[in-house]
Structure 1
Amino acid sequence: MKSKKSMVMKLIIGMIFLLSAMPLAFSQSQVEDEGIRKLSLDKWHWMADKKVEILDDLFHEKSVFVHMGGAWGKTAELEVIKNGGIWYKKADVHDVSVNIIDNTAILLNKITLLAVVGGNEVTNNFMVTEVYQKEGNRWLLLSLSFTKLI
């Protein structure tokens, strides 16, 4: 039988190892959280600037976009942005929550969106749901849904 002293030492070493790994796991989670927040904010700027080449790389091939006037896929969304059917002129992001589950990130953004739709400038408050999936080292947007806030 092992001595009590030996068992206590192993327990202490195990706890030290476990506690030392916790900040690393927390910091990796924080980095991932901040990275996806920045990507989301960058996306709003790319949409405002109509940078469809960058957005084409960000949007997953099977991505979906839900608006007040309908829902469509990647190709239609890029055309809407490129041709100015919807010009996401400025998104003021008031609040963002991030929930990362394995390789999926769900963001809820409370925004005030200044947009030009059909030639008319409009301002609306939305809760925007963004769903991203990590493929390799990069995040791809799977879904972007606008819910109008009253």
Structure 2
Amino acid sequence: MATTARNETTLTDSSQGQQTPSVDTLFFDGQCPLCAGEISQLRKVRGDALRIVDIHELDETGDVTPDSVVPSNQSPNKDQLLRVLHLRRADGSWLTSADANVAAWEGTTHGRILSALRWPVVRHIADAIYAIWARWRYRRLYGKQFQESFHAPHK
């Protein structure tokens, strides 16, 4: 199983009355064909055990909306979310990149297999490959710099 990793950042909710989600929330790029395919499979096997949010459905500022149950003043912006996969744990901590992917599949057959990517020796190789792939995917879809009006106009 995925554990706390170097890509994880813990956030403290400074706002009063903000509810913490009871399940993890995965933020994905709905305009990425590979991502959309994986999310389709993930929805089938995880169901309600994982909340899945398309990054392009976030509010105009690119901040995560209160509807996502993530405080916008502490969350990554839309560009950051598009660069690498992000998963917010129910406890408010964040996982990114391969850690987020492995955590998203927790409790499934795929999750048991993917957990090998977090083994100490394999982790470094998997993280390097993920970083190269994520950079290539982002540039292929959005160029060197994300521009909301061009890359993700409102629907």
* TM-score above 0.5: no
For CA contacts below 8 A with separation 6 or more, give which structure has more relative contact order.
Answer: 2
Q: Give TM-score, length-normalised by structure 1.
A: 0.24
Between Structure 1 and Structure 2, which shows a larger proportion of strand residues?
A: 1
Q: Give TM-score, length-normalised by structure 2.
A: 0.23
